[in-house]
Structure 1
């Protein structure tokens, strides 16, 4: 049996050759044109010596070039290694060496870092997507369990790990997202503002959109005002983003007042917990529904989703997607998966077609993550009697104050409803008496006026248990964000220690 991620594009090019596949600024490419360029890239890679099974790294911004290189390398039978767009040269070199990449395709503003990193690693750097030579007549066949993509994790516990995603992982996830979850069709227009080097942007936005024959509108760098303009100008019907993007869009809409021109029918949130207050403001502002899901790089990425057919429950991440099973296990037992009954908090575990094949050259980390046939996510969650999963927090973000477990997300959900607070992140800081103390790092609204630490503490004291409310409040202009808009709590914790 053969199955390749490249066929996602090939099949849509066969079915919908003249429909617009991708919009990149002033460039509009049909499926026929996009597939032809991918095959030219594949032919050029083959001519340069790339063989099936080789690894080709890609360091490109959100542009049509990323799609040419991604599908071109896959069509040539290579494994794609997307490189994080915010890495410095030494970090790029590490990814190239660790992955065993034979070439790095880059260009634009990322070229200087790519060139330096490739030189350090002794890897050939290619400036611009190669198109020399004859196009490959057909994509190289691949087995479902062959590695299609190696995605490097954020490396919160040391060097980044290379997660091995198979062709089956990605094709199944893209298909489930396109057809079962969002119900994409050829008339949909999806905004591609998530980084394509990340699993959320790559599979949910790019692969799922092309799997459905819909149109992907690329946005190289996200801003609330810029996204609002694109939503209106391109008639975007489906928005996919992370919580900080939802917040930015609501704020931009409040200043712009043009939401009446939008045609959004659905919005998808993932990457981090979306505060219910932000969800409610977005739905009210844009007159659409937000569907929140959950997943990780290692789950390809989607594991659960608020599926309209099964009911939607804001504040939860819904039910498992088709072909995937979710459990909640005893987080204290690491060498076995001991499932807990509904209603109890534990570590979320996942199994199904979406589970990665392991970490590249890291059997110890793979063995710790894949236990008894389940993938241990490192996230704490609880499932209710109706099967809805709620993510409580990351295990590592748990605050233990005087022996009490405090989940930062629960505190954040309350604080974000304060009329003067725009954004908030809750962390634990060392405390001699209680081990850790609850600290709220707050971004105030522009019109907040004078708000003090004592004001926020007093307000939260009336709304949270005595062990939960923050005793420390720190104000900041912005929260540190990762490439997908996720708040970097480790940076806040380091700054507070």
Structure 2
């Protein structure tokens, strides 16, 4: 497989009758032959609306069967899929559509208000396509598909051409469009095949949003010949679908796993015995939470580390490493580098010794071509031929990698470096703590001091003094929090990561007694 369009074309020939996609809302099943044919018709329908090679087609949708087929169709034209988070506010959506230069938006009727609110600022936007019914002024998706030619478009697409733009979360400013080529996507999907999706007869539940790089594992599942179910995350829906369709593989972010564990009644009421693998990524799971998950589901977890810029997977902590017996420190690891990716801890010039902190650098065929329209940011991120992740990590003597923090999250207090992850790990070991986020707040004497933002488990209590003392017993004095702020829930980014930028903004004026 050379380009994205090859995936469904090949599987449509090799596995014509096997089920490729399930739309659970209608209990509709699509064979690989049907999905391959639909991708051709979608491509020709888009071409009839004027979409040409290099044009950008925005996908403003929640997870659905359309999300699982549209990028393949767009790729058949040599066009570019722009993944847009449907939960963003009007101005945020407007920025992405303007920055990418999208000429077509594929969306749902409930999101037309967002498109209308920003449409006047987007002279390049020619067409709006709705996937759930005809609306005046838009193109009906299914009608477009039904009326399109079944003959594959004759477009010669280069494998190093851009296939997808995935916009970063923008926690350090305006989001940047990550350019992923056809080769990036095919190589990343192949990496997933090596490290997971081993059951060709399996069923994959995709509930991590497709606007994120989590759209890539479904490509791997289809390459393996598996059945894909793409839905938005909802606790009741997820457990129902696992039971109803005998799901074997699921990809979740740690927040989703934590939410499931908080509903033992829901888990007990459903037969989840079909699950063979739960992949998790986007953020580490605190070791105490992971321990509960392993006791509940068994050793079926696989952790994957990567970024949108690396088309996700770069390291993996395999099932056999998820052990509750013996030394559990490895549960905090993101695993070892995968076969087709190089990972360096340190700098372009030098690798850090085992056990020493340094920035994680990545190199491989999965690494992005660059940031859309941002040559200086691209040069900085890919300096020396390595992707500079901004993550600080260490590698142990056996090659296991541990993410200790973000480069920009490090707190410098009185000239000493404090890595928030280290403090958070201690806080998570307290029985009352449900979520913990540690940030630095300004201090005239020390430069910064340590603030812990905490949400507690239901029916559990803890005081500020108790938590500060708990940390003081386990950490050097300069690392302990000087103040604790209690919140109902710790804010998250749309992909489930704790939103440190929001916390810094919220607590920027907090006065801390650093004595």
TM bin (shorter chain): over 0.9
Q: Assess, with a 3 A threshold, how the Cα gap between structure 1 residues 42 and 329 changes in structure 2: closer, same or farther.
A: same
For the pair 1:386 / 2:398, whether they are aligned, the reply is yes
CA deviation vs aligned residue, 1:214-270 (integer Å, no higher than 9, x gap):
1122222x2334322322222221221111111111112355424654322121111
Does 1:426 find its partner at 2:438?
Answer: yes
Tell me by how many angstroms 1:141 deviates: 3.5
Match of 1:187, SS state, is coil
Q: Greater shift after overlay, 273-282 or 427-436? A: 427-436
RMSD: 2.0
Asked if structure 2 preserves the Cα contact closer than 8 Å seen for 1:203 and 1:300, the reply is yes
Which residue, 185, 190, 198 being the options, matches 1:184?
Answer: 198
Cα deviations across residues 347-370 of structure 1 (Å, max 9, x unaligned)? Answer: 100111111111112111011111
DSSP-derived class of the 2:315 partner: strand
Offset of residue 37 of structure 1: 1.8
Provide the C-alpha distance between the structure 1 equivalents of 2:161 and 2:390, rounded to a whole number of angstroms: 26
The answer for the alignment partner of 1:193 in structure 2 is 207
Partner of 2:137: none
How many angstroms apart in 2 are the aligned matches of 1:254 and 1:409? 31
Q: Tell me the SS of whatever aligns to 1:485.
A: coil
2:491 is aligned with 1:490: no
- The alignment partner of 1:372 has SS state of helix
User: In the alignment, is the contact (CA less than 8 A) between 2:68 and 2:230 conserved in 1?
Assistant: no
TM-score normalised to structure 1 length:
0.93
Matched, 1:155 2:170: yes
- Rate the CA distance shift 1:87–1:171 in 2: closer, same or farther, 3 A: same
> What secondary structure sits across from 2:285 in the alignment?
coil
Report the alpha carbon displacement of residue 324 of structure 1 after superposing the two structures with TM: 1.0
Report what 1:292 is aligned to. 303
Structure 1 residue aligned with 2:8: 9
Aligned residues: 486
Q: 1:311 to 1:423 in 2, by over 3 A?
A: closer
Question: 2:454 maps to what in 1?
Answer: 442
Name the counterpart of 1:135. 150
| 2:345 is equivalent to residue 328 of structure 1 | yes
Q: Distance in 1 between matches of 2:274 and 2:70?
A: 31
Structure 1's consecutive aligned runs of 4 or more residues displaced over 4 angstroms after TM superposition are 308-312
Most deviating of 478-487 and 111-120: 111-120
Unaligned runs of 5+ in 1: 331-335
Comparing 83-92 and 48-57, the one that deviates more: 83-92
2:513: which partner in 1?
none
Aligned to 1:56: 57
Looking at structure 2, the residues matched to 106 and 256 of structure 1 have their Cα atoms a distance apart, in angstroms, of 33
Deviations 1:89-114 (A, max 9, x none): 33222222221222111114222212
Pick closer, same or farther for the CA change 1:464–1:294 going to 2, 3 Å: same
Answer yes or no: is the 8 Å Cα contact 2:260–2:267 preserved in 1.
no
Say which SS state the counterpart of residue 479 (structure 2) adopts. Answer: coil
Gaps of 5+ in 2: 132-140, 324-329, 509-515
Q: Which stretch of the first structure deviates more once superposed, 248-257 or 296-305?
A: 248-257
Partner in structure 2 of residue 333 of structure 1: none
* Counterparts of residues 331-410 of structure 1 (less than 5 Å): 337-410=349-422
Residues 51-130 of structure 1: pairs in structure 2 closer than 5 A:
51-122=52-123, 123-124=125-126, 125-128=128-131, 129=141, 130=144
SS at match of 2:59: strand
Question: Once the two structures are superposed, what CA deviation does each residue of 1:444-493 show, in whole Å capped at 9, x if it has no partner?
Answer: 11121x42212222222222222222221111111211221111111111
Q: What are the within-5 Å matches in structure 2 for residues 238-277 of structure 1?
A: 238-253=249-264, 256-258=267-269, 261-277=272-288
Q: In structure 1, what is the equivalent of residue 215 of structure 2? A: 202
Q: Normalising by structure 2, what TM-score?
A: 0.89
CA distance in 2, matches of 1:103, 1:447: 50
Secondary structure in structure 2 of the residue aligned to 1:170: helix
Residue aligned with 1:120, SS: coil
